[in-house]
Structure 1
Amino acid sequence: MDRIHAFRMQLKPGVVDEYKRRHDEIWPELIAALRDAGIYDYSIFLDEASLALFAVLKLRPDDKRDALPQLPVMQRWWAAMAELMETHPDHRPKEWPLRPMFHLD
């Protein structure tokens, strides 16, 4: 059975348009890495009042998402996005897990 992972991230003020632009131009090699890791149907939503980003992704049963942080393309993406969002020292975006409360199938 596929799994769903949802989490929150945080944008810095004044960067909404740039964040959107960069995702509109997401690198093909990053898309390939995400798909190879078993991630699909990945969406990110913005709460404009708080600048919180809410991400929801589906994972295949044999996903390899835990290997993504070691990939050079993932590290380059995080470094490129670090100026726009709250991150850890290694530029990985800070994530706050979201607890499932309701699902309509």
Structure 2
Amino acid sequence: MIRKVCKMKLYKNCYDEYKKRHDEIWLEMKEELKKHGYDNYSIFLDEETGYLFSYVEARDEKSYNEMANTEICQKWWKYMKDIMETNEDNSPKSVDLKKIFYLP
């Protein structure tokens, strides 16, 4: 099992819409995440800055990385691009955060 944390940037006036879209996340997206070993997945918002912090526990690095290549993930990224900073391929601009401490 691996743990991944990253930060992304949400546009200021889109906080409620981001939450709404995740409250209504597509069943196909949930299934694909589970299929790729994603478990215990959370996203937190810093409302002062618009930064999102995602934390996920995944089966392994390979499965984690393969999720980005799925059709449903590509569709989700396209759906989300109007409310957050994205790259040219519609993936969220993100920065992986370095683990400093862990208490099992």
Range class of TM-score, shorter chain: over 0.9
Q: Which residue of 1 aligns with 2:20?
A: 21
Label 1:61 to 1:74 Cα distance change in 2 as closer, same or farther (>3 A): closer
Deviation digits for residues 28-86 of structure 1 (CA, Å, limit 9, x no counterpart) = 10011111111100000001110000000001147512222221111110000000110
Percent identical residues: 37
Paired residues, number: 104
Q: Which has the higher helix share?
A: 2
TM-score (norm 2): 0.94
Q: Which amino acid aligns with 1:16?
A: Y
Separation in 2, partners of 1:24, 1:52: 18
SS of equivalent residue, structure 2 residue 75: helix
Q: Which residue of 2 aligns with 1:68?
A: 67
C-alpha root-mean-square deviation of aligned residues, in Å?
A: 1.2
Q: Which amino acid aligns with 1:88?
A: N
Unaligned runs of 5+ in 2: none
Unaligned runs of 5+ in 1: none
Separation in 1, partners of 2:89, 2:62: 23
Instruction: Say whether 1:41 aligns with 2:49.
Output: no
Label 1:88 to 1:62 Cα distance change in 2 as closer, same or farther (>3 A): closer
Instruction: Say whether 1:12 aligns with 2:5.
Output: no
Separation in 2, partners of 1:62, 1:93: 19
Contact 2:9 2:84 in 1 (8 A): yes
Q: Which residue of 1 aligns with 2:90?
A: 91
